[in-house]
């Protein structure tokens, strides 16, 4: 580490900075010095301003007062690597924009491949292939290179985007929630790559809600809350519990309650009964890739399922068959809510019974609506709001927002919210109509520790006391709701694909 006058040489200095994010000003007069050889983790609750602050470092958010000084002459925004939820969102948005040209040209199969996406950031030279091979091996994406980006799972895309930033040979690497959507092996590989990046003398700034996943090589902590820096300095050996409570917990704790009173049950118990999902020998293929192979699965009322397995094992594809978003449902034997798919039902007949939250849905929800309008749209299963909600529906929508801790964002535009705030709004949207089935694909992505805890308590109560059946996908076993009765586990088979194994949990958990 180089030093000047007994101190580490400055790398980046934020001097009395104020940044503007649309109509809001954040970090009024804040200062932050990043010295050479330091690696920082940025922590804080949802909506604190973490992403806005690091985007300012990357030159993506305007500084309206003060200045950011890059002391390294070669450090300019174009050579800053930046991975975030918005990176994924922008990639999918560009692909959807290209769909129009594909449609008019009749070239329906020319989707962007992983290989072309990655090579687009590597200088044209004889070193392209070796560089791609090295990163591909480190992140275990060699088998994805010739697959279309649109055919990847959330976790697979996250690893591909990480590879893209590494291939840019950045002078600074900013990682905003890089572990979200990744299975255990994927998180381990990202951690190893962060360590290698730090060992290669490239400064790293990590934004995360999962404090246990901060690599040991990260030397400093920056804590932010309500658009202010509340702590900056060397990373303590342990993060004090009381300090974390003050940082994350809101001022007033609200009692967990279901806004809509559940229907009474005989003796207060959930009784398994009517079949909601019946899949027999279901197979889904894309080209030469088999995603689901002869799957048999039955879900009944009174059951709550956790669905677990590695990235790319077929979890999201399975849910897309249930949600009516996958056309291959018509080529298989699938019954939903007592009706066989393809027997004359409409997509709206299916969606009327469902509530859905997933990263894919959040990525594609780009309507210019206020947060409250997004929640109310859940009554009508619409992306956008095209009908007038009743007074009762508005009361229920606001009550769900209160329970999830996002009622104070009701009047703000959805696109102006942070990733975690958006996720809370979409969770409220999924719950407002008390659906027969609630599909939750990694619902805790982007949520801070307090919001995660509150959501899991609310889901547990819903799974125990209401008629709603939960289908819950996660890569974190500790976040499986306590009300879960069954597990569908995707495991690697001897043939190289995945097979689904069903487990019934001890009734004491229910």
Q: Which residue do the tokens 């619409």 mark?
A: 382
Q: Helices (DSSP H) in 283-343: which residue ranges?
A: 315-323
DSSP labels, 108-146: TT-PPBHHHHHHTTS-SSTTHHHHHHHHHHHHT-GGGTT
Q: What is the dihedral of CA 404, 408, 409, 412, to 10 degrees?
A: 160
Confidence grade of residue 506 (pLDDT, cut at 50, 70, 90)? low
- Rounded to whole angstroms, the Cα distance separating 133 from 142 reads 7
Q: Does residue 507 have a pLDDT over 50?
A: no
Residue 168 near residue 121 (C-beta atoms within 8 A): yes
Q: Does residue 378 have a pLDDT over 70?
A: yes
63-70 sheet: strands from edge to edge: 24-35, 10-21, 63-70
Number of H helices, E strands in the chain: 14, 21
Task: From 394, 393, 373, select the one nearest 383 (Cα to Cα).
Answer: 373
Instruction: Compare 103 and 161 and report the one with higher pLDDT.
Output: 161
Would you state the pLDDT for residue 463?
93
Q: Which of 132-146, 375-389, 464-478 has the lowest mean pLDDT?
A: 132-146
Question: pLDDT for 76-108, tens place per residue?
Answer: 766 889 999 999 999 988 888 877 676 666 665
Question: What Cα–Cα distance (Å) separates residue 180 from each residue in 41, 209, 283, 448?
Answer: 16, 10, 28, 12
Confidence grade of residue 27 (pLDDT, cut at 50, 70, 90)? very high
Would you state the pLDDT for residue 457?
94
Q: Does residue 150 have a pLDDT over 60?
A: yes
Under DSSP, the state recorded for 271 is -
Q: Which residue do the tokens 């697959």 mark?
A: 147
Q: Does residue 16 have a pLDDT over 90?
A: yes
Would you state the pLDDT for residue 290?
87
- Rounded to whole angstroms, the Cα distance separating 352 from 437 reads 10
- Rounded to whole angstroms, the Cα distance separating 69 from 56 reads 12
Q: Which of 95-109, 127-141, 158-172, 463-477 has the lowest mean pLDDT?
A: 95-109
Strands 220-225 and 204-207: unpaired
Q: Which of 291-295, 461-465, 492-496 has the lowest mean pLDDT?
A: 492-496
Two tokens at 413? 């535009």
Q: Does residue 509 have a pLDDT over 80?
A: no
Q: For 224-234, what is the mean pLDDT?
A: 94
pTM: 0.89
Two tokens at 169? 């040979």
Instruction: Compare 133 and 307 and report the one with higher pLDDT.
Output: 307
Strands 40-43 and 333-336: unpaired
Q: For 25-42, what is the mean pLDDT?
A: 95
Would you state the pLDDT for residue 348?
83
Confidence grade of residue 373 (pLDDT, cut at 50, 70, 90)? very high
Q: Which domains does the chain have, with CATH numbers?
A: 3-75+173-248 (3.40.50.300)
Q: For 313-327, what is the mean pLDDT?
A: 90
Confidence grade of residue 253 (pLDDT, cut at 50, 70, 90)? low
Q: Which of 205-219, 231-245, 297-311 has the lowest mean pLDDT?
A: 231-245
Strands 498-504 and 486-492: antiparallel
Q: Does residue 487 have a pLDDT over 60?
A: yes
Output the average pLDDT for the chain. Answer: 87
């Amino acid at each position: 580490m180089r030093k000047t006058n007994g101190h580490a040489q400055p790398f980046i200095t934020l001097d009395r900075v104020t940044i503007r994010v649309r109509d809001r000003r954040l970090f009024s007069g804040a200062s932050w010095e990043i010295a050479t050889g330091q690696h920082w983790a940025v922590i804080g609750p949802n909506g604190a301003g973490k992403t806005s602050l690091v985007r300012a470092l990357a030159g993506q958010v305007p500084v309206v007062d003060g200045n950011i000084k890059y002391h390294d002459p070669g450090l300019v925004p174009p050579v800053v690597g930046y991975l975030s939820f918005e990176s994924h969102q922008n990639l999918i948005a560009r692909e959807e924009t290209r769909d129009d040209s594909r449609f008019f040209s009749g070239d329906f199969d020319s989707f962007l491949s992983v290989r072309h996406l990655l090579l687009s950031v590597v200088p044209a030279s004889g070193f392209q292939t070796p560089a791609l091979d090295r990163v591909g091996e480190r992140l275990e994406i060699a088998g994805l290179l010739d697959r279309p980006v649109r055919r990847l799972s959330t976790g697979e895309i996250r690893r591909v985007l990480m590879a893209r930033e590494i291939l840019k040979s950045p002078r600074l690497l900013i990682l905003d929630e890089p572990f979200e959507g990744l299975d255990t092996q994927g998180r381990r590989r990202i951690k190893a790559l962060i360590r290698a990046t730090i060992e290669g003398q490239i400064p790293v700034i990590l934004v995360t809600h999962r404090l246990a996943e901060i690599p040991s090589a990260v030397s400093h902590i920056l804590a932010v809350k309500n658009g202010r820096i509340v702590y900056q300095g060397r990373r303590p050996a342990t993060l004090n519990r009381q300090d974390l409570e003050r940082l994350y917990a809101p001022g007033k704790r609200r009692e967990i309650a279901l806004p809509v009173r559940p229907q009474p049950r005989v003796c207060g118990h959930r009784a398994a009964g009517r079949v909601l999902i019946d899949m027999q020998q279901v197979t889904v293929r894309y080209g030469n890739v088999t995603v689901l192979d002869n799957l048999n699965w039955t879900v009944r009322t009174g059951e709550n399922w956790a669905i677990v397995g590695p990235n790319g094992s077929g979890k999201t594809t399975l849910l897309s068959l249930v949600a009516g978003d996958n056309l291959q449902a018509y080529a298989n034997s699938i019954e939903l809510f007592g009706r066989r798919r393809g027997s004359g039902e409409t997509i709206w007949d299916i969606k009327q019974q469902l509530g859905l939250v997933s990263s894919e849905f959040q990525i594609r929800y780009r309507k210019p609506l206020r947060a409250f309008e997004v929640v109310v749209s859940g009554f009508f299963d619409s992306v956008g709001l095209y009908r007038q909600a009743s007074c009762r529906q508005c009361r229920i929508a606001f009550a769900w927002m209160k329970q999830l801790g996002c009622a104070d964002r009701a009047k703000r535009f959805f696109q102006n919210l942070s990733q975690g705030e958006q996720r809370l709004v979409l969770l409220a949207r999924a719950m407002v109509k008390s659906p027969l089935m609630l599909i939750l694909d990694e619902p805790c992505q982007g949520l801070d520790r307090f919001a995660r805890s509150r959501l899991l308590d609310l889901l547990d109560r819903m799974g125990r006391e209401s008629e709603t059946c939960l289908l819950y996908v996660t890569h974190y076993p500790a976040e499986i709701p306590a009300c879960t009765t069954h597990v569908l586990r995707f495991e690697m088979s001897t043939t190289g694909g995945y097979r689904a194994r069903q487990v019934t949990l001890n009734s004491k958990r229910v």
